[in-house]
Structure 1
Amino acid sequence: MNDGAKKTIWVIGAGSGIGRALAIALSRKGHQLILSGRGVDRLELLKSEFIQGALIVPVDVSNTSSLSEAYAEAKSVMGVIDSVICMSADYQPMTIDHLDLGRCQTILNTNLMAAFSILHTVVPDMKLRGQGQIVFCGSVAGYRGLPNGQPYSAAKAGLINLAETARLELIPYGIDIKIINPGFVKTEMTDKNDFHMPMMITAEVAAERIAAQLSNPNQFEIRTHKIFTVLMKFIKFLPNRLYFRLLRK
């Protein structure tokens, strides 16, 4: 996505958190926005306060039919959609002893299966045009398994893997696949945590950092934290024996 060119960008999960802040940041750069999510009231408020020219298209990313209908509506109004950025996420801390299988399925659907639906829905048009961008929101929690994060971390690990595979497959067609792997960002989701979250930043700061990295076609991973991400990458490559010993302490 050329930083100087004005694009039509579909932000899914724009109602709250990083998605909301990113939509505002992209609008300030002059891009045309399509705002999607399940909470229409939140989207309407976002539009009225910050992005008057945006198109609102409600969508449930965990429902493939809902996503297909939303895409068709967005295309009928806006024409070509240059970039699709999915910031939708669901999170609930859990341990193995207290797994809620219903919530696990919802978390997996929102964080991972939705990405398959997005690829299935938008890639054919992008292939025909020979260009496009799809951006998913992963997490540093997807680098390695972390305590209390079973369904979320597992979904994000799968999403990172999927994005890597999709980038390899779609680069020849001019389609730029990226993954955002945030560290700790102050949102409604992180408010659920009862542990210390180092190097936490606001959603607004995260959004500015993300927006600044979207235009580089050679960049796959977008980071919101430099130092914290390096630390998590270091943990990722620790020998298993040492990793498990450290995490048990």
Structure 2
Amino acid sequence: MVKAKWVWITGGSSGIGLATARECLDRGDYVILSARDAQKLQQVCTELNAQLPSPQAFAYALDVTDVQALQEAWEFICGHFALPDWIIFNAGTHTPTSIDSLQPSVFRQLMEVNYFAVLQGIHTVLPRLRAQRRGTIAVVASVAGYRGLPTAAAYGASKAAMIHACEAFYTELQGSGVKLKLINPGFVRTPLTDRNAFAMPCLMEPEAAAKALVQGLESPGFEVVFPRRFAYFLKFLRCLPYAIYFKLVQRLNG
């Protein structure tokens, strides 16, 4: 019999985070969900627990950009629940941007949530995980970080920075007992992707994305990508010379 895991998910009240929580609960795991909206978060946990014999979903409201609150959340989780087996830093935001509506403040906001808050999260949880020589840190970035894409300058830049940092951290964590997983989704139907005004290729439902994410966490290796067909197409674009890449993107963008 597989031992139930303790899983902490930020950005857990909707989208990939909520779908991943459901997937973990279906497996018999215990899940701690964090998000900024305390009322919505509690409602989500109540609905999840209503389908279970006993409560296995727990709410801890949190703004991931608040450094002190993040530390307090970690201390509370470890003290009142358990040291999580999986920590999934999923909280993120997206604002479509273009050169015609360039606002540096949008770039700062996305970097604060998508990059600096995740770095602070890793900084917060890593000492205890290292001391116990166990645990998995999963960072949700995006295939949008592979290369510059139209209207994704701010979002893609924040995810590219996260990919770069995780690549560096992965080697440094070897032998520590702590696993680092980089999650790079393509287009998944969420409140964030609902902001996109263009047709999204290979759009996945959050339930399918959650299954791929959990399966990836249990598999060896560093990067987890889905849907694979779209992700590997973008990996191919990453290898192209600029002259070819820009022409292809312009053609695909109409």
TM-score bracket, shorter-length normalisation: over 0.9
Amino acid at match of 1:60: D
Q: How does 1:116-127 map to 2 (within 5 A)?
A: 116-127=119-130
Gaps of 5+ in 2: 50-54
2:54 matches 1:44: no
Question: What CA deviation, in whole Å up to 9, does each residue of 1:187-220 have, x standing for no partner?
Answer: 111111111111111111111111122112x221
- Structure 1 match to 2:95: 92
- Structure 2 match to 1:214: 217
CA distance in 2 between counterparts of 1:133 and 1:236 reads 28
Contact 1:57 1:73 survives alignment (8 Å): no
- Structure 2 match to 1:19: 17
- Structure 1 match to 2:140: 137
Aligned length: 246
CA distance in 1 between counterparts of 2:82 and 2:16 reads 26
- Structure 2 match to 1:152: 155
- Structure 1 match to 2:6: 8
Distance of aligned partners of 1:87 and 1:59 in 2 relative to their CA distance in 1, 3 Å threshold: same
- Structure 2 match to 1:237: 239
Superposed CA RMSD in Å reads 1.4
Instruction: Report how far residue 39 of structure 1 moved.
Output: 1.4
2:64 matches 1:61: yes
Query: Secondary structure of 2:147's match?
Result: coil
CA distance in 2 between counterparts of 1:220 and 1:231 reads 19
Gaps of 5+ in 1: none
Instruction: Report how far residue 22 of structure 1 moved.
Output: 0.5
State, as a whole percentage, how many aligned pairs show the same letter: 33
Contact 2:25 2:56 survives alignment (8 Å): no
Instruction: Report how far residue 91 of structure 1 moved.
Output: 0.3
Query: Secondary structure of 1:212's match?
Result: helix
- Structure 1 match to 2:207: 204
Instruction: Report how far residue 171 of structure 1 moved.
Output: 2.0
Question: What CA deviation, in whole Å up to 9, does each residue of 1:96-153 have, x standing for no partner?
Answer: 2312222221111111111210111000001101111100111110000101111100
Question: What CA deviation, in whole Å up to 9, does each residue of 1:35-88 have, x standing for no partner?
Answer: 111011221122111133222111111121121111111111113222210111
TM-score by length of 1: 0.95
- Structure 2 match to 1:31: 29
Instruction: Report how far residue 31 of structure 1 moved.
Output: 1.1
TM-score by length of 2: 0.93
Instruction: Report how far residue 33 of structure 1 moved.
Output: 1.0
